[in-house]
């Protein structure tokens, strides 16, 4: 008998990944920060990048959002090359980022900071807004509604009107995640989202990241030194050492990989 289910189900290996990075090579004078880095991120995937200090993790993010210009290699998102586009154009294509140091405007309220995250989605500029008051008003209402959904998702209601500079540290980090989400990215870059957090704040962040992924279904690249967080959250992990990929695979494979263990313990051994 014919097995209909097999015909109906899509192939498990997606043909075109969301992000494809090939042969990425970045040098600063004599220092090779990245050397022939290859990886891909699938739609909706939580992909982690680990490695000792100076391995090149942040440099990958800086290449992805066009802050650095690699000497060699290709980066494509949805089949479109990101190389040579200004950072704002990369953001408009759907790549959002949180920073190792907070990227909020301290004198603006939490909600105002999230509204700024939507700036590139707003069609009505200030002057046309004066001429087309009705349209600008409708657009503003839609943007506010989108921001409120994020406030709710991240349980930020109690802090809505508080200036970002007065937010407790853990809440400010969550607000920064909210600002990035307000951009409606398809790929979110998280650089050390739990750095400086205590255990409770770290566990909260893990819960919010899983919630965001479940609700919004976006792909994330997580750079993080907290190994238990990486191993709990990531679908796949890539380990870097001195700008070279030493292993890529499921968290359980990476944890036991001799090259990864050597990279972390090599100096001490």
Ligand X SMILES: Nc1ncnc2c1ncn2[C@@H]1O[C@H](COP(=O)(O)OP(=O)(O)OP(=O)(O)O)[C@@H](O)[C@H]1O
Contact footprint for ligand X (CB under 6 A): 28, 31, 33, 51, 53-59
Work out how close the CB of 54 gets to Mg ion at its nearest, in angstroms, rounded to a whole number: 8
Intra-chain end-to-end CA distance of the chain, in Å: 60
Neighbours of 32 (CB within 10 A): 16
Q: Which does 54 bind (CB under 5 to 8 A by kind): Mg ion, ligand X, none?
A: ligand X
Cβ proximity to Mg ion, 58 vs 113, nearer residue: 58
Work out how close the CB of 223 gets to ligand X at its nearest, in angstroms, rounded to a whole number: 7
Cβ proximity to ligand X, 33 vs 111, nearer residue: 33
Give the pair of three-digit tokens for residue 29.
Answer: 């004078």
Contact set for Mg ion, span 40-69 (CB under 5 A):
58
Residues 135 and 125: their CA atoms lie apart, in Å, by: 11
Collect all residues with Cβ–Cβ distance below 8 Å to 243 and sequence separation of at least 6: 26, 32, 33, 34, 35, 37, 55, 56, 59
Cβ proximity to Mg ion, 57 vs 118, nearer residue: 57
Work out how close the CB of 39 gets to ligand X at its nearest, in angstroms, rounded to a whole number: 15
Give the pair of three-digit tokens for residue 19.
Answer: 């992000």
Cβ proximity to ligand X, 34 vs 175, nearer residue: 34
Work out how close the CB of 95 gets to Mg ion at its nearest, in angstroms, rounded to a whole number: 17
Q: Which does 179 bind (CB under 5 to 8 A by kind): ligand X, Mg ion, none?
A: none
Cβ proximity to ligand X, 57 vs 173, nearer residue: 57
Work out how close the CB of 56 gets to ligand X at its nearest, in angstroms, rounded to a whole number: 4
Radius of gyration of the chain (CA): 20
Does the footprint of Mg ion cover residue 248 (CB under 5 A)?
A: no
Cβ proximity to ligand X, 52 vs 129, nearer residue: 52
- Whether the CB-CB separation of 75 and 81 falls below 8 Å is answered with yes
The one-character DSSP state at 101 is S
- Whether the CB-CB separation of 117 and 201 falls below 8 Å is answered with no
* Residues binding Mg ion: number (CB under 5 A): 1
Neighbours of 3 (CB within 10 A): 7
Neighbours of 195 (CB within 10 A): 14
Q: Which does 205 bind (CB under 5 to 8 A by kind): ligand X, Mg ion, none?
A: none
Give Cα separations from 95 to 62, 171, 245 (angstroms). Answer: 12, 23, 22
Give Cα separations from 136 to 104, 108, 118, 182, 256 (angstroms). Answer: 25, 21, 14, 18, 55
Q: Which does 33 bind (CB under 5 to 8 A by kind): ligand X, Mg ion, none?
A: ligand X
Contact set for Mg ion, span 109-138 (CB under 5 A):
none
Residues 134 and 114: their CA atoms lie apart, in Å, by: 23
Work out how close the CB of 28 gets to Mg ion at its nearest, in angstroms, rounded to a whole number: 14
Work out how close the CB of 203 gets to ligand X at its nearest, in angstroms, rounded to a whole number: 22
Q: Which residues in this chain contact Mg ion in the complex, by CB under 5 A?
A: 58
């Amino acid at each position: 008998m014919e097995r209909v289910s097999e015909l109906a189900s899509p192939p498990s290996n997606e043909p075109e990944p969301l992000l494809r990075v090939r042969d990425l090579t970045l040098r600063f004078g004599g220092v090779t920060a990245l050397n022939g880095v290859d990886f891909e991120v699938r739609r909706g995937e939580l992909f982690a990048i680990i490695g000792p200090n100076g391995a090149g993790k942040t440099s990958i993010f800086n290449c992805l959002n066009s802050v650095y210009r690699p000497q060699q290699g290709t980066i494509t998102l949805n089949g479109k090359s990101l190389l040579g586009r200004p950072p704002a154009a990369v953001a408009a294509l759907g790549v959002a980022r949180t920073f190792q140091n907070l990227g909020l405007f301290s004198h603006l309220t939490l909600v105002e900071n999230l509204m700024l995250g939507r700036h590139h989605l707003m069609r009505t500029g200030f002057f046309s807004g004066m001429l087309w008051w009705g349209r600008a008003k409708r657009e503003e209402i839609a943007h506010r509604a989108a921001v409120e959904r994020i406030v709710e998702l991240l349980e930020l209601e109690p802090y809505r009107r508080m200036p970002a500079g007065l937010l407790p540290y853990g809440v400010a980090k969550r607000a920064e995640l909210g600002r990035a989400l307000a951009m409606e990215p398809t790929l979110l870059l998280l650089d050390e989202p739990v750095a400086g957090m205590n255990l409770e704040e770290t566990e909260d962040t893990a819960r919010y990241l899983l919630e965001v992924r479940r609700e919004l279904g976006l792909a994330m690249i997580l750079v993080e030194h907290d190994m238990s967080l990486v191993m709990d959250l990531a679908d796949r992990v890539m380990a870097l050492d001195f700008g070279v990929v030493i292993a890529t695979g499921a968290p359980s494979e990476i944890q036991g990989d001799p090259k990864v263990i050597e990279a972390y313990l090599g100096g001490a051994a």
